């Protein structure tokens, strides 16, 4: 049948699936290896895979959650990027859990955001930074692992500018 995002006729391309969403939608990603050609999400979505071992998304630019992301979630998947992984920018009330991010540059960057929960996340960076936090508040980091980041001038955790209430 015609792809419409239903269980009977799911989208086979992630870019098409994300383009069809509206605020508050849930995108469930089945087991498999997917390629994403870049993503700018401007709305609160729940993006849910089966597990990081079963649902793997490779992207050239990484996920980017722009201003206007409210009450979103990304969980149960792996993000593999030859650049940077997941950017959370200008966002509120977001949950990132049970995610593996493997990137060449920064794995997870949180900037200008508040009330972000990051739990059971594995961050690996071959280059600069595992986790970067800036101009943010009420950030909860729980049971996360940061590896790599052993290049010159790199760090596992990097924070700058104004941050408050990081636990």
Residue with tokens 């989208």: 11
Per-residue pLDDT of the chain (167 residues; tens, 9 = 90+): 788 888 889 888 888 888 888 888 899 999 999 988 766 666 788 999 999 999 999 987 767 666 567 788 999 999 998 888 888 888 899 999 999 999 888 889 899 999 999 999 998 887 778 888 888 999 999 999 888 766 555 565 655 555 555 55
CA distance 20 to 49: 18
Give 30's Cβ-side CA count (13 Å radius): 10
pLDDT of residue 68: 62
């Amino acid at each position: 049948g015609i792809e419409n995002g239903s269980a009977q006729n799911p989208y086979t391309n992630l870019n098409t699936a994300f383009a069809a969403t509206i605020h508050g939608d849930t995108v469930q990603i089945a087991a498999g290896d997917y390629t994403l050609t870049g993503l700018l999400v401007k709305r609160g979505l729940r993006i849910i895979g089966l597990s990081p071992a079963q649902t793997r998304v490779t992207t050239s630019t990484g996920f980017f959650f722009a201003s206007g992301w409210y009450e979103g979630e990304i969980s149960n998947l792996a993000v593999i990027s030859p650049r940077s992984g997941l950017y959370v920018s200008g966002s509120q009330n977001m949950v990132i859990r049970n995610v593996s991010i493997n990137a060449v540059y920064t794995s997870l960057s949180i900037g200008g955001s508040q009330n972000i929960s990051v739990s059971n996340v594995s961050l690996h960076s071959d280059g600069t930074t595992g986790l970067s936090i800036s101009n943010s508040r009420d950030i909860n980091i729980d049971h996360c692992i940061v590896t790599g980041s052993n290049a010159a001038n790199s760090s596992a955790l990097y924070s700058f500018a104004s941050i408050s209430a990081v636990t």
